[in-house]
Amino acid sequence: MPETASLRIGLDIGGTHSDGVLCCGTQVLAAVKTPTRHEDLLSSIRALLQALLTGQEESRVHCINLSTTLTTNALVTGRIAPVGVLVSAGPGIAPEEYRIGPQFHTVRGSINHVGEETAGLDAEELNAALAACQEAGLCHYAVAGKFSPRNPAHEEAMAAAIASAVPEARVFCGHRLSGSLNFGRRINTCFFNAGVCDLVQNFAQALRASLADFGLAEAEVNILKADGGTMPLVRALVEPVQSILSGPAASIMGVLAALGPADDAVLLDIGGTTTDIALLAGGQPLLEGEGIALAGRPTLVRALKTRSIALGGDTRLFLNAEGLLRCGPERRGPCLAAGGPEPTLMDACNVLGLSRYGNLAASQAGLDKLAAQAGTEPEKLAQEALSLAGQILRTALATLLAEVNAKPLYTIHEMLEDRPLAPQEVIVLGGPASVLQGLVQEWTGLATRCPPLPAVCNALGAALSRSTGELALHADSSRCLLLAASQGVQRRIGRDFGLKEALATAKGLLVEDMAASGVQVTEEEIQITQADAFNMVTGAYLVGKNIRVTAQVKPAVLGRALIPEGLASLAVE
């Protein structure tokens, strides 16, 4: 390869380990792995960069793609900023049914389904809501209107009032996060987005400073999204909620890059703390239909369909009050073989000779002690532990398959098929993948295989994922109005504006929108996933058309990864 060819880096900050790969095009040059330091994620990133860039010219690095647990952990632990929520709905809906957070305020006003204002915002209620939020000392706000993607006027008015009353406020409008019509999901999406915005902004500033220390100040930086695509760091500052669950998405994209298309298959990303389960239908990842649920609340965040279970190499083994062996669900540290405090599944694998990881004597001593307490032999106890793990995995997989097969399959290529998903194989990745591959085959009864570099497949997926984007366009020729609310576009159109013009406009606007964030795409790379035109009739007369178009740049990898035979991931502390 040319010495001056540009380089790209993929980083995945996981729950137990952080991984990195260095690529030239799709050629993998180096792979590294280090323990994740949750109290200082940047130190994990610096350790990866230090190892990856050894012997390399930093100026050749043009792109860094990052998958991080930052926003996910914030939601799981409840470490999000308090948010003031202001909503306007109108007749036919009870906003209180969507209450989220202690400062939730309804402001009377109404916009109908075609985007016409039928009742103005109640200024008195708006002022009262603002006064309550100010008294609570809030600086983060989410505003949502029932039909804001058809007319954002009420959201924009509430946002302007907040900005006037609280100049330092961070205000997020629902219509800028999604063009989909689902009031409850839009409220939740906006709430979570406001709650994690400062966390992501502070991290981004520190990340930029760290990259500058490595001579990477000019490199393009992207964050992996839950749908398997990336977005520029500048966009992540205004849509941080999109980075939720980027880790599972990275593993799926890594498998696509490492192995290429497959048939119906199960993907298992086995980490130290959890196992992420995903499914392929005809070689394509499944998407959540409308959006994922966060903290039990449905949102409009597009995401690949995954399930996470509390099962990993470091899952704790212990006896309950009745003296029965239990496997997890918690992790209390690494395995005994790695200096941890209690026996884990990896220690059981060591005792049974399935692995030779770390301090084998420590694994044996821990299982000896636990077996003595249980009144059995250590090998028998270890085998029972693995049987329990297999039962946990089989149950979770059966539940996910039943859920998926209860409805049409919906993949990243919008393929809707009324057929059952019937996995033919299991693809195993993650740190313990090579150790557990045979066990997984025994547990599931399906053929199994590991991709090359299974321990850093997430980082590979991050490195080779391309940027994605979406645009929802609504045109009403009877009102001579075109709107792409999430992009802030509103313009006049003629009464003869039709579906053909709408399709061309949607593609052009999406190209412009992504270019504004530094991402260059062509119209040929854009797929249309919705194209509907309905006649609008008043009395006996056709007065115009109601047109709806959705355009997307779909998740995909840049190409098949070229991984040198024998390349191994370097472990760094």
Q: pLDDT by residue (tens digit) across 95-135? A: 889 999 999 999 999 999 888 899 999 999 999 999 999 99
Quick check: is 441 in a domain?
no
Beta strands in 450-524, from DSSP E residues, in sequence order: 469-476, 481-484, 489-492
The answer to whether residue 475 is domain-embedded is: yes
Cβ-contact 432, 385 below 8 angstroms: no
Going by pLDDT thresholds of 50, 70 and 90, the confidence category of residue 91 is confident
Q: What is the percentage of the chain residues whose pLDDT exceeds 90?
A: 70
Structure tokens at 535: 């006649």
438 — phi, psi (to 5°)?
-65, -40
The answer to the question of residue 499 being in a domain is yes
* Helix, strand, coil abundance in the chain, percent, nearest 5: 35, 30, 35
Is 506 domain-assigned?
yes
Residue that terminates a domain, selected from 169, 184, 199: 184
Top mean pLDDT of 220-229, 260-269, 535-544 is at 220-229
**pLDDT(573) > 70:** no
Confidence of residue 409 (pLDDT cuts 50, 70, 90): confident
Confidence of residue 2 (pLDDT cuts 50, 70, 90): very low
Torsion of CA 243, 248, 251, 255, to 10 degrees: -110
Q: What is the mean pLDDT of the chain?
A: 91
**Residue 63 lies inside a defined structural domain of this protein:** no
The reply to whether 362 falls in a domain is no
Q: Model pTM greater than 0.85?
A: yes
Q: Report the C-alpha gap between 393 and 440 in whole angstroms.
A: 9
Q: Is residue 96 part of a domain?
A: yes
Go through the chain and tell me how many residues it has: 573
- 30-70 pLDDT, tens per residue? 999 998 887 888 999 999 999 999 999 999 999 999 998 88
pLDDT at 414: 63
Provide the residue range defining the domain that includes 493. 469-553
Residue 404 in any domain: the answer is: no
Number of structural domains (the chain) is 2
Q: What's the pLDDT band for 141 if we cut at 50, 70, 90?
A: very high
